[in-house]
């Protein structure tokens, strides 16, 4: 008997691919409307993808044996050409477990990440000071730059600001022209025809980024006693078999962390601001909480637990304005059952986060931006997974949430923002979806 496959959306693969590239949210909305919680789409050059939109199915996916639903190989296939193949994101099996043991500890736990609170506040104030007050500018670019700086300063804290700023400039240019290039989602157009061809330019910039970060890493490998920071610790921590990470593995890890950490967080910070500007009553309530807890003081680690509405606002913005059509991708290595269906080996399966985020039994007003969805509420397991799940859950979730809270609180304490564009809608910005025009805003010092 033939295995029962998830329902396949009608339409030829080239057309579905174009639709997905242009507006994946509309395509998956149609998929859930026509087929419910599980459906597949065939893409040109990417095979069949099954989208999961119910907590039970997503739980099955995240709890599946790591050698049956495989993450690293799926990630490598999508991003290996840009991010390499030797980092937590792209490894599988024992190599992944070993690497996770090395990369996870310095980026997680309050003792490790709370000391970064003053840094995030300082970098946010620096962003505000550099922002012109006489004209509108896209907030997205500033937010990406801020998140990038937070990541670079966190990873390489022992280097001085001038060096780190130069690295930020270089990576920012690479991210702008490379990681956010429209070619990034179209592997069939990625032809490196030399430095002056569109893709050749991206690869040239990538080479310069790798060279600059390699120098930083080499210094940490050569004299680790001089560098007490996250990368220094990774360089000097022995793996289970007693060996140390090679210089090239460390380099890939750092570039992966910068990629994974800055576009996601910067885009979410931008959407959160957009949601607040569109909902003045929510902004007023948040300002009241911030004034109550902080008065005029800079945000400190001990304030974080006293700002539940800030946390609810950020979670609601992540829910209401998803930055990607999926959160967590796995390659099916062996036939695997989900619900009444069997996934075919060689296909991909993903958590369809935007559809999960609109389930009416989980969120009382799914089509509205309403922080009450999260305010003082504990979500049930597998109902709220913007950071993926299982053994591949995002390594940077604690740091990302910390950055979002501290940056947003610092910003709102200091400035009043006004939207300077007529309407806002999500558009593709590299891998993620961000506000069109980058969210044009003006700001001025906050009047109290």
Q: By the 8 A CB rule, do 42 and 16 touch? A: yes
Per CB under 6 A, the list member of 145, 315, 392, 405 interacting with ligand HEM is: 392
Minimum separation from the CB atom of position 441 to ligand HEM (A): 21
Compute the distance between CA of residue 175 and CA of residue 152 in angstroms, rounded to an integer. 14
Residue count, binding to ligand HEM (CB under 6 A):
25
Q: Between residue 175 and residue 234, which ones bind ligand HEM under the rule CB under 6 A?
A: none
Stretch 99-128: interaction string toward ligand HEM, x if CB under 6 A:
-x------x---------------------
Pairing mode of beta strands 329-332, 348-351 = antiparallel
Pairing mode of beta strands 137-138, 47-52 = unpaired
Q: By the 8 A CB rule, do 441 and 133 touch? A: no
Binding of ligand HEM by 408 (CB under 6 A): no
Minimum separation from the CB atom of position 265 to ligand HEM (A): 4
Q: Considering the complex, state which of residue 88 and residue 311 has its C-beta at the smaller distance from ligand HEM.
A: 88
Binding of ligand HEM by 328 (CB under 6 A): yes
Compute the distance between CA of residue 273 and CA of residue 439 in angstroms, rounded to an integer. 9
Q: Considering the complex, state which of residue 85 and residue 442 has its C-beta at the smaller distance from ligand HEM.
A: 85
Minimum separation from the CB atom of position 353 to ligand HEM (A): 8
Tokens representing residue 249 in the block = 């593995």
Tokens representing residue 223 in the block = 């004299």
Binding of ligand HEM by 294 (CB under 6 A): no
Quick one: which segment of 36-44, 178-186, 375-383, 392-400 binds ligand HEM (CB under 6 A)?
392-400
Cα 77 to Cα 82, 256, 301, distances in angstroms: 10, 15, 39
Binding of ligand HEM by 51 (CB under 6 A): no
Per CB under 6 A, the list member of 140, 175, 179, 268 interacting with ligand HEM is: 268
Q: Considering the complex, state which of residue 351 and residue 413 has its C-beta at the smaller distance from ligand HEM.
A: 351
Quick one: which segment of 51-59, 208-216, 303-311, 394-402 binds ligand HEM (CB under 6 A)?
394-402
Binding of ligand HEM by 389 (CB under 6 A): yes
Q: Return phi, psi of residue 341, to 5°.
A: -115, 165
Quick one: which segment of 124-132, 175-183, 264-272, 431-439 binds ligand HEM (CB under 6 A)?
264-272
Helices 139-155 and 397-414: crossing angle in degrees, nearest 10, is 130
Cα 315 to Cα 49, 321, 409, distances in angstroms: 27, 10, 15
Quick one: which segment of 124-132, 301-309, 381-389, 427-435 binds ligand HEM (CB under 6 A)?
381-389
Compute the distance between CA of residue 389 and CA of residue 392 in angstroms, rounded to an integer. 6
Q: Considering the complex, state which of residue 39 and residue 259 has its C-beta at the smaller distance from ligand HEM.
A: 259
Per CB under 6 A, the list member of 6, 55, 322, 388 interacting with ligand HEM is: 388
- List of residues 6+ apart from 363 with CB closer than 8 A: 319, 357, 373
Binding of ligand HEM by 356 (CB under 6 A): no
The long-range contacts involving 279-283, CB below 8 angstroms and separated by at least 24 positions, are 279/369, 282/313, 282/369, 282/371, 283/412
Per CB under 6 A, the list member of 54, 265, 270, 311 interacting with ligand HEM is: 265
What is the three-state SS of 126-171? HHHHHCCCCCCEEHHHHHHHHHHHHHHHHHCCCCCHHHHHHHHHHH
Element (H, E) at 370: none
Minimum separation from the CB atom of position 104 to ligand HEM (A): 9
Instruction: Return the number of other C-beta atoms located less than 10 Å from residue 92's C-beta.
Output: 19
For 264, counting Cβ atoms within 10 Å of its Cβ (0-12 exposed, 13-18 middle, 19+ buried), the class is buried
Binding of ligand HEM by 88 (CB under 6 A): yes
Closest to 283 measured CA to CA, from 149, 179, 413, 150: 413
Stretch 234-263: interaction string toward ligand HEM, x if CB under 6 A:
----------------------xx--xx--
Binding of ligand HEM by 138 (CB under 6 A): no
Minimum separation from the CB atom of position 127 to ligand HEM (A): 17
Binding residues for ligand HEM, per CB under 6 A? 71, 88-89, 100, 107, 256-257, 260-261, 264-265, 268, 327-328, 386-389, 392-396, 399-400
């Amino acid at each position: 008997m033939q295995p029962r496959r998830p329902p396949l959306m009608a339409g030829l693969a080239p057309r579905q691919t174009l639709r997905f590239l242009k507006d994946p949210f509309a395509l998956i909305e149609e998929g859930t409307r026509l087929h419910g919680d599980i459906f597949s789409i065939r893409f040109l050059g990417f095979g069949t993808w099954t989208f999961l939109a119910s907590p039970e199915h997503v739980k099955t996916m995240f709890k599946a044996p790591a050698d049956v639903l495989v993450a690293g190989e799926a990630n490598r296939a999508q991003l290996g050409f840009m991010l390499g193949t030797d980092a937590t994101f792209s490894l599988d099996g024992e190599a992944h477990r070993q690497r996770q043991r090395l990369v996870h500890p310095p980026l997680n736990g309050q003792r490790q990440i709370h000391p970064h609170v003053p840094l995030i506040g300082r970098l946010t104030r620096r962003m505000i000071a550099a922002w012109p007050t006489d004209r509108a500018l896209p907030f997205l670019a500033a937010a990406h730059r801020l998140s990038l700086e937070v990541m670079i300063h966190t990873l390489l804290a022992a280097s001085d600001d001038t060096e780190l700023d130069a690295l930020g400039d270089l990576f920012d240019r690479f991210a702008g022209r490379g990681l956010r290039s429209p070619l990034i989602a179209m592997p069939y157009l990625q032809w490196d025809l030399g430095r002056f061809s569109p893709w050749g330019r991206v690869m040239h910039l990538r080479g310069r980024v790798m060279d600059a970060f390699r120098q930083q890493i080499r210094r940490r490998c050569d004299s680790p006693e001089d560098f007490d920071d996250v990368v220094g610790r990774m360089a000097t921590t022995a793996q289970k078999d007693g060996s140390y990470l090679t210089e090239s593995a460390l380099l890939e890890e750092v570039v992966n962390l910068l990629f994974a950490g800055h576009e996601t967080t910067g885009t979410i910070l931008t959407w959160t601001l957009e949601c607040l500007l569109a909902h003045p009553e929510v902004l007023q309530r948040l300002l009241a909480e911030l004034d109550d807890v902080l008065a005029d003081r800079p945000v400190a680690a001990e304030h974080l637990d006293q700002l539940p509405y800030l946390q609810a606002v950020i979670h609601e913005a992540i829910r209401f304005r998803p930055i990607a059509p999926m959160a967590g991708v796995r390659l099916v290595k062996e036939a695997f059952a989900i619900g009444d269906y069997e996934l075919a080996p060689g296909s991909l399966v993903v958590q369809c986060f935007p559809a999960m985020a609109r389930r009416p039994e989980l969120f009382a007003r799914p089509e509205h931006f309403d922080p009450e969805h999260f305010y003082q509420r504990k979500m049930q397991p597998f109902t709220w997974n913007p950071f993926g799940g299982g053994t591949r859950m995002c390594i940077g979730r604690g740091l990302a949430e910390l950055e979002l809270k501290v940056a947003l609180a610092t910003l709102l304490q200091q400035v009043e923002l006004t939207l300077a564009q007529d309407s806002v809608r999500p558009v593709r910005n590299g891998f993620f979806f961000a506000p069109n025009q980058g969210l044009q805003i003006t700001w001025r010092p906050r009047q109290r």
